Amino acid sequence: MTGTASDRAALAAVVSRTRYLLLDFDGPVCSIFAGLPAPTVAEELRKLFTPDQLTDTAKNTTDPIEVFIQAAEVDPKLAARVEAEMTGLEVAAVATAKPTPYVHEVLAGCRESGRTVAVVSNNSAQAVNSYLDRHGLSDGVGLVVARTSHDPAQLKPSPHLLEIAVQKLAADPAATALVGDSLTDVEAAHRAGIASIGYANKPGKRDAMTEINAGAVIGSMSDLALSLRAYPLPD
Ligand SMILES: [Mg+2]
């Protein structure tokens, strides 16, 4: 396993009380933009803006979701067009998305220990479902709660999507944890009153996630897979 003894203890503390495991999609499940890079998607979305609609942030960001947020600040109709285009590009990107190492082992660990898995994502529900179908993961994932609206305020770091997942699963928030690779995932989990496991898949993330009190931080999904096997389901 990666990490220190205290990392492993923090992970064990979260996993041993987790019956409902929520997975962020881009990061913990796959790298959706492995073949169609996010900066290319952001560039495509920018083309929907007129020159006077382009804020400095919209002009410079390489993050498609940030372009969407900027669109919503300008005009809801522009946000709707950007969201629809982004959905199309995300669905196209599924064909070249790269599975995250050991995510299949995490799903197997949940299945074997009787834990329920849901995917909670800022990416479009269409793209998430398409990816899960393509990779034979639909049966292992009990629920998908993802972007279906052109209102970015509903996306993480808002707790909105997590609250829907908790409600639809009839889950006890105290027995629920989100695995995410962004600080906004940790923040959304805090706001939803559930535990968080930060997936530190890039340098610097571990410290940043620890700083905002992620319940645990992992450097590889294999850490989580091993922990799920080691700690049986809570009573
Ligand atoms: Mg992510």
Domain with CATH 3.40.50.1000 in the chain: 5-32+98-230
| Residue 23 confidence class, pLDDT cut points 50, 70, 90 | very high
| Residue 232 confidence class, pLDDT cut points 50, 70, 90 | confident
| Residue 133 confidence class, pLDDT cut points 50, 70, 90 | very high
CA of 181 to the centre of ligand 1 (A): 5
Percent over 90 (pLDDT), the chain: 96
Q: What is the pLDDT of residue 81?
A: 98
Residues whose Cβ atom is located within 5 A of ion ligand 1? 24, 26-27, 181-182
Q: What is the pLDDT of residue 74?
A: 95
In the predicted model, is pLDDT for residue 2 greater than 80?
A: no
CA of 51 to the centre of ligand 1 (A): 30
Q: How far is CA 165 from CA 17, 142, 146, 176, 193, in A?
A: 18, 10, 10, 10, 13
Q: What is the pLDDT of residue 235?
A: 62
CA of 127 to the centre of ligand 1 (A): 14
Query: Averaged over 24-51, what is the pLDDT?
Result: 98
For 86-95, the pLDDT digits (tens) are 999 999 999 9
Cα separation, 120 vs 184, in Å, equals 13
CATH 3.40.50.10860 at 5-32+98-230, yes or no: no
| Residue 234 confidence class, pLDDT cut points 50, 70, 90 | low
Q: What is the pLDDT of residue 177?
A: 98
CA of 179 to the centre of ligand 1 (A): 9
In the predicted model, is pLDDT for residue 121 greater than 90?
A: yes
CA of 189 to the centre of ligand 1 (A): 13
Residues 6+ apart with CB under 8 A from 57: 66, 70
Q: What is the pLDDT of residue 18?
A: 97
Peptide bond into 203 cis (omega under 30): no
